[in-house]
A and B are shown apart, each in its own frame.
Chain A
Amino acid sequence: MNVPLGATNTAVLICSSLTMAMAVRSAQLSQRKALVRFLLLTMFFGAIFLGVKAYEYHEKWVEHLVPGFGFQYEETQFERNAQILFFLYFAMTGMHAIHMIVGFGLLTYLVVKARKNAFTEHYFAPVEMIGLYWHFVDIVWIFLFPMLYLIGGRR
Protein backbone atom coordinates (compact mmCIF):
# COMPACT_ATOMS: atom_id res chain seq x y z
CA MET A 1 0.00 0.00 0.00
CA ASN A 2 1.05 3.56 -0.68
CA VAL A 3 1.34 4.94 2.87
CA PRO A 4 1.91 8.65 2.03
CA LEU A 5 -1.14 8.66 -0.26
CA GLY A 6 -3.23 6.86 2.39
CA ALA A 7 -2.16 9.36 5.06
CA THR A 8 -2.92 12.27 2.72
CA ASN A 9 -6.35 10.85 2.02
CA THR A 10 -7.00 10.48 5.75
CA ALA A 11 -6.15 14.16 6.21
CA VAL A 12 -8.40 15.11 3.27
CA LEU A 13 -11.30 13.20 4.81
CA ILE A 14 -10.72 14.88 8.18
CA CYS A 15 -10.86 18.25 6.38
CA SER A 16 -14.20 17.25 4.87
CA SER A 17 -15.46 16.28 8.32
CA LEU A 18 -14.51 19.70 9.67
CA THR A 19 -16.34 21.48 6.84
CA MET A 20 -19.36 19.19 7.40
CA ALA A 21 -19.40 20.07 11.10
CA MET A 22 -19.13 23.74 10.13
CA ALA A 23 -22.02 23.27 7.67
CA VAL A 24 -24.24 21.85 10.43
CA ARG A 25 -23.26 24.80 12.62
CA SER A 26 -24.14 27.27 9.82
CA ALA A 27 -27.53 25.61 9.41
CA GLN A 28 -28.16 25.91 13.15
CA LEU A 29 -27.38 29.62 12.91
CA SER A 30 -29.54 30.10 9.75
CA GLN A 31 -26.50 31.23 7.76
CA ARG A 32 -27.60 30.17 4.28
CA LYS A 33 -24.56 31.35 2.31
CA ALA A 34 -22.07 29.80 4.74
CA LEU A 35 -24.08 26.57 4.74
CA VAL A 36 -23.95 26.24 0.95
CA ARG A 37 -20.26 27.13 0.93
CA PHE A 38 -19.35 24.54 3.58
CA LEU A 39 -21.45 21.84 1.88
CA LEU A 40 -19.66 22.51 -1.41
CA LEU A 41 -16.28 22.42 0.37
CA THR A 42 -17.23 19.07 1.91
CA MET A 43 -18.06 17.75 -1.56
CA PHE A 44 -14.78 19.15 -2.86
CA PHE A 45 -12.74 17.26 -0.25
CA GLY A 46 -14.83 14.14 -0.84
CA ALA A 47 -14.06 14.37 -4.56
CA ILE A 48 -10.31 14.70 -3.85
CA PHE A 49 -10.50 11.60 -1.67
CA LEU A 50 -12.24 9.59 -4.38
CA GLY A 51 -9.79 10.87 -7.00
CA VAL A 52 -6.78 9.75 -4.96
CA LYS A 53 -8.53 6.43 -4.32
CA ALA A 54 -9.07 5.96 -8.06
CA TYR A 55 -5.38 6.69 -8.64
CA GLU A 56 -4.43 4.06 -6.03
CA TYR A 57 -6.77 1.51 -7.62
CA HIS A 58 -5.17 2.17 -10.99
CA GLU A 59 -1.73 1.71 -9.40
CA LYS A 60 -2.83 -1.70 -8.09
CA TRP A 61 -4.19 -2.63 -11.51
CA VAL A 62 -0.88 -1.75 -13.20
CA GLU A 63 1.04 -3.79 -10.59
CA HIS A 64 -1.21 -6.86 -11.15
CA LEU A 65 -2.48 -6.65 -7.59
CA VAL A 66 -6.21 -6.87 -8.38
CA PRO A 67 -7.43 -10.30 -7.16
CA GLY A 68 -8.90 -12.49 -9.87
CA PHE A 69 -7.55 -10.43 -12.79
CA GLY A 70 -4.13 -11.91 -13.53
CA PHE A 71 -3.00 -11.49 -9.93
CA GLN A 72 0.77 -11.62 -9.55
CA TYR A 73 2.87 -11.13 -6.43
CA GLU A 74 6.65 -10.85 -6.54
CA GLU A 75 7.18 -13.24 -3.60
CA THR A 76 5.40 -16.16 -5.23
CA GLN A 77 5.33 -18.31 -2.09
CA PHE A 78 3.02 -15.72 -0.50
CA GLU A 79 0.89 -15.13 -3.60
CA ARG A 80 -2.20 -16.84 -2.20
CA ASN A 81 -2.01 -14.92 1.09
CA ALA A 82 -1.35 -11.66 -0.76
CA GLN A 83 -4.39 -12.27 -2.94
CA ILE A 84 -6.58 -12.68 0.16
CA LEU A 85 -5.13 -9.46 1.60
CA PHE A 86 -5.84 -7.53 -1.60
CA PHE A 87 -9.31 -9.05 -1.83
CA LEU A 88 -10.01 -7.65 1.65
CA TYR A 89 -8.40 -4.34 0.65
CA PHE A 90 -10.66 -3.92 -2.36
CA ALA A 91 -13.78 -5.17 -0.55
CA MET A 92 -13.29 -2.81 2.39
CA THR A 93 -12.11 0.31 0.56
CA GLY A 94 -14.63 -0.37 -2.21
CA MET A 95 -17.49 -0.53 0.27
CA HIS A 96 -16.18 2.67 1.84
CA ALA A 97 -15.94 4.38 -1.56
CA ILE A 98 -19.55 3.40 -2.36
CA HIS A 99 -20.61 5.07 0.90
CA MET A 100 -18.63 8.17 -0.10
CA ILE A 101 -20.46 8.30 -3.44
CA VAL A 102 -23.82 7.93 -1.68
CA GLY A 103 -22.76 10.74 0.67
CA PHE A 104 -21.88 12.82 -2.38
CA GLY A 105 -25.44 12.37 -3.68
CA LEU A 106 -26.92 13.28 -0.30
CA LEU A 107 -24.75 16.42 -0.14
CA THR A 108 -25.91 17.43 -3.62
CA TYR A 109 -29.49 17.16 -2.36
CA LEU A 110 -28.60 19.33 0.64
CA VAL A 111 -26.95 21.98 -1.55
CA VAL A 112 -30.04 22.18 -3.79
CA LYS A 113 -32.36 22.50 -0.78
CA ALA A 114 -30.05 24.90 1.06
CA ARG A 115 -29.93 27.23 -1.96
CA LYS A 116 -33.71 27.48 -1.72
CA ASN A 117 -33.27 28.49 1.92
CA ALA A 118 -34.90 25.30 3.21
CA PHE A 119 -32.79 25.10 6.35
CA THR A 120 -33.02 27.50 9.26
CA GLU A 121 -32.43 27.38 12.99
CA HIS A 122 -35.95 25.89 13.28
CA TYR A 123 -35.43 23.12 10.74
CA PHE A 124 -32.00 21.66 10.06
CA ALA A 125 -32.52 17.97 10.82
CA PRO A 126 -31.59 16.78 7.28
CA VAL A 127 -28.26 18.63 7.45
CA GLU A 128 -27.60 17.17 10.89
CA MET A 129 -28.54 13.60 9.85
CA ILE A 130 -26.49 13.62 6.63
CA GLY A 131 -23.68 15.17 8.67
CA LEU A 132 -23.83 12.19 11.04
CA TYR A 133 -23.67 9.85 8.05
CA TRP A 134 -20.66 11.70 6.64
CA HIS A 135 -18.80 11.57 9.98
CA PHE A 136 -19.62 7.87 10.28
CA VAL A 137 -18.01 7.19 6.89
CA ASP A 138 -15.03 9.22 8.12
CA ILE A 139 -14.78 7.06 11.27
CA VAL A 140 -14.80 3.90 9.13
CA TRP A 141 -11.84 5.29 7.19
CA ILE A 142 -10.06 6.24 10.43
CA PHE A 143 -10.02 2.48 11.20
CA LEU A 144 -9.40 1.28 7.64
CA PHE A 145 -6.30 3.44 7.28
CA PRO A 146 -4.23 1.85 10.10
CA MET A 147 -5.56 -1.64 9.44
CA LEU A 148 -4.85 -1.68 5.69
CA TYR A 149 -1.95 0.75 5.31
CA LEU A 150 -0.05 0.83 8.59
CA ILE A 151 -0.11 -2.78 9.81
CA GLY A 152 0.30 -5.99 7.86
CA GLY A 153 0.06 -4.45 4.43
CA ARG A 154 3.48 -2.79 4.44
CA ARG A 155 5.94 -3.86 1.76
Chain B
Amino acid sequence: MSSTATGHHTPIPNVATLVKVFLSLIVLTFVTTLISYVDLGELNIVVALIIAVFKASLVAWIFMGVRYTTSLTKLFVVAGLVWLSILVILTYSDYTSRNWIYQARPWSQTKAPFFEDKAK
Protein backbone atom coordinates (compact mmCIF):
# COMPACT_ATOMS: atom_id res chain seq x y z
CA MET B 1 0.00 0.00 0.00
CA SER B 2 2.51 2.60 1.14
CA SER B 3 5.92 3.23 -0.35
CA THR B 4 7.18 4.39 3.04
CA ALA B 5 6.98 0.85 4.41
CA THR B 6 10.29 0.09 6.02
CA GLY B 7 10.63 -3.55 5.14
CA HIS B 8 8.02 -4.67 7.66
CA HIS B 9 5.59 -7.26 6.32
CA THR B 10 2.52 -5.18 7.26
CA PRO B 11 1.77 -2.52 4.65
CA ILE B 12 1.26 0.91 6.21
CA PRO B 13 -1.90 2.80 5.22
CA ASN B 14 -1.25 6.27 3.87
CA VAL B 15 -2.69 9.38 5.50
CA ALA B 16 -4.95 10.26 2.56
CA THR B 17 -6.74 6.90 2.83
CA LEU B 18 -7.31 7.31 6.56
CA VAL B 19 -8.60 10.86 6.15
CA LYS B 20 -10.95 9.81 3.31
CA VAL B 21 -12.42 7.08 5.51
CA PHE B 22 -12.77 9.57 8.36
CA LEU B 23 -14.61 12.08 6.14
CA SER B 24 -16.91 9.35 4.78
CA LEU B 25 -17.78 8.32 8.34
CA ILE B 26 -18.59 11.92 9.32
CA VAL B 27 -20.75 12.42 6.22
CA LEU B 28 -22.59 9.13 6.83
CA THR B 29 -23.26 10.13 10.46
CA PHE B 30 -24.71 13.41 9.22
CA VAL B 31 -26.83 11.67 6.56
CA THR B 32 -28.21 9.01 8.91
CA THR B 33 -29.13 11.71 11.45
CA LEU B 34 -30.92 13.79 8.81
CA ILE B 35 -32.81 10.77 7.41
CA SER B 36 -34.04 9.93 10.91
CA TYR B 37 -36.01 13.20 10.94
CA VAL B 38 -37.99 11.99 7.90
CA ASP B 39 -40.77 9.55 8.71
CA LEU B 40 -40.28 6.52 6.46
CA GLY B 41 -42.26 4.14 8.67
CA GLU B 42 -40.66 0.73 8.97
CA LEU B 43 -37.95 1.76 6.50
CA ASN B 44 -36.33 4.11 9.07
CA ILE B 45 -34.89 1.14 10.94
CA VAL B 46 -33.70 -0.54 7.74
CA VAL B 47 -31.98 2.59 6.39
CA ALA B 48 -30.35 3.45 9.74
CA LEU B 49 -28.96 -0.07 10.15
CA ILE B 50 -27.73 -0.34 6.54
CA ILE B 51 -25.78 2.92 7.02
CA ALA B 52 -24.46 1.63 10.37
CA VAL B 53 -23.28 -1.63 8.78
CA PHE B 54 -21.57 0.39 6.04
CA LYS B 55 -19.83 2.62 8.62
CA ALA B 56 -18.72 -0.36 10.70
CA SER B 57 -17.34 -2.04 7.58
CA LEU B 58 -15.31 1.08 6.74
CA VAL B 59 -13.83 1.13 10.25
CA ALA B 60 -12.98 -2.58 10.14
CA TRP B 61 -11.67 -2.54 6.56
CA ILE B 62 -9.30 0.46 6.83
CA PHE B 63 -8.92 1.64 10.46
CA MET B 64 -8.66 -1.90 11.84
CA GLY B 65 -6.59 -2.85 8.83
CA VAL B 66 -8.48 -5.92 7.63
CA ARG B 67 -7.65 -4.79 4.11
CA TYR B 68 -3.92 -5.06 4.82
CA THR B 69 -3.98 -8.49 6.42
CA THR B 70 -3.65 -12.05 5.17
CA SER B 71 -6.51 -14.17 3.84
CA LEU B 72 -6.41 -16.21 7.05
CA THR B 73 -7.18 -13.12 9.18
CA LYS B 74 -10.00 -12.19 6.79
CA LEU B 75 -11.39 -15.71 7.22
CA PHE B 76 -11.43 -15.21 10.99
CA VAL B 77 -13.26 -11.88 10.58
CA VAL B 78 -15.90 -13.61 8.43
CA ALA B 79 -16.16 -16.47 10.96
CA GLY B 80 -16.93 -13.92 13.69
CA LEU B 81 -19.63 -12.33 11.55
CA VAL B 82 -21.19 -15.74 10.77
CA TRP B 83 -21.31 -16.51 14.48
CA LEU B 84 -22.88 -13.12 15.22
CA SER B 85 -25.48 -13.69 12.49
CA ILE B 86 -26.46 -17.01 14.12
CA LEU B 87 -27.06 -15.19 17.42
CA VAL B 88 -29.07 -12.43 15.75
CA ILE B 89 -31.14 -14.75 13.53
CA LEU B 90 -32.05 -17.11 16.39
CA THR B 91 -32.92 -14.25 18.75
CA TYR B 92 -35.11 -12.41 16.28
CA SER B 93 -36.81 -15.51 14.89
CA ASP B 94 -37.85 -16.22 18.50
CA TYR B 95 -38.87 -12.61 19.08
CA THR B 96 -41.06 -12.42 15.97
CA SER B 97 -42.60 -15.89 16.17
CA ARG B 98 -43.54 -16.06 19.86
CA ASN B 99 -46.96 -14.48 19.37
CA TRP B 100 -47.81 -17.04 16.69
CA ILE B 101 -48.19 -19.67 19.40
CA TYR B 102 -49.41 -17.80 22.47
CA GLN B 103 -51.63 -15.26 20.68
CA ALA B 104 -50.45 -12.61 23.10
CA ARG B 105 -52.14 -9.23 23.26
CA PRO B 106 -50.31 -6.25 21.71
CA TRP B 107 -47.12 -5.35 23.54
CA SER B 108 -48.46 -2.14 25.04
CA GLN B 109 -51.34 -3.97 26.75
CA THR B 110 -49.41 -6.98 27.97
CA LYS B 111 -49.07 -7.19 31.74
CA ALA B 112 -46.01 -8.98 32.94
CA PRO B 113 -46.66 -11.09 36.12
CA PHE B 114 -43.86 -9.26 37.91
CA PHE B 115 -45.65 -5.92 37.76
CA GLU B 116 -49.04 -7.41 38.74
CA ASP B 117 -47.56 -8.84 41.94
CA LYS B 118 -46.21 -5.43 42.82
CA ALA B 119 -49.57 -3.76 42.33
CA LYS B 120 -51.34 -5.96 44.91
Cβ-defined contact, B8 with A121, below 8 A = yes
Query: Which of the residues A22, A131, A135, A145 comes within 8 Å of B60, measured between beta carbons?
Result: A135
Interface assignment of B76: CB less than 8 Å from any CB of chain A: no
Interface of chain B, main secondary structure: helix
A151–B36 Cα distance when bound, in Å, is: 7
Query: Which of the residues B7, B22, B30, B60 comes within 8 Å of A18, measured between beta carbons?
Result: B22
Cβ-defined contact, A17 with B59, below 8 A = yes
Q: A25-B15, A78-B108, A80-B115 are in contact. Are A3 and B29 (CB under 8 A)?
A: no
Query: Which of the residues B33, B44, B62 comes within 8 Å of A3, measured between beta carbons?
Result: B33
Interface assignment of A142: CB less than 8 Å from any CB of chain B: yes
Interface assignment of A110: CB less than 8 Å from any CB of chain B: no
| Segment at the interface with B among A6-14, A54-62, A91-99 | A6-14
Chain A contact patch, size range:
35 or more
Q: Could you list which residues of chain B lie within 8 angstroms of chain A, going by C-beta atoms?
A: 4, 6-8, 10, 12-13, 15, 18-19, 21-22, 25-26, 29-30, 32-33, 36, 44-45, 48-49, 51-52, 55-56, 59-60, 62-65, 107-108, 115
Q: 29 A-B residue contacts at CB 8 Å?
A: A11-B29, A14-B22, A14-B26, A14-B29, A17-B22, A17-B59, A17-B63, A18-B19, A18-B21, A18-B22, A20-B63, A21-B13, A21-B63, A22-B15, A22-B18, A24-B65, A25-B12, A25-B13, A29-B4, A78-B108, A80-B115, A135-B63, A139-B56, A139-B59, A139-B60, A145-B29, A146-B36, A147-B49, A151-B45
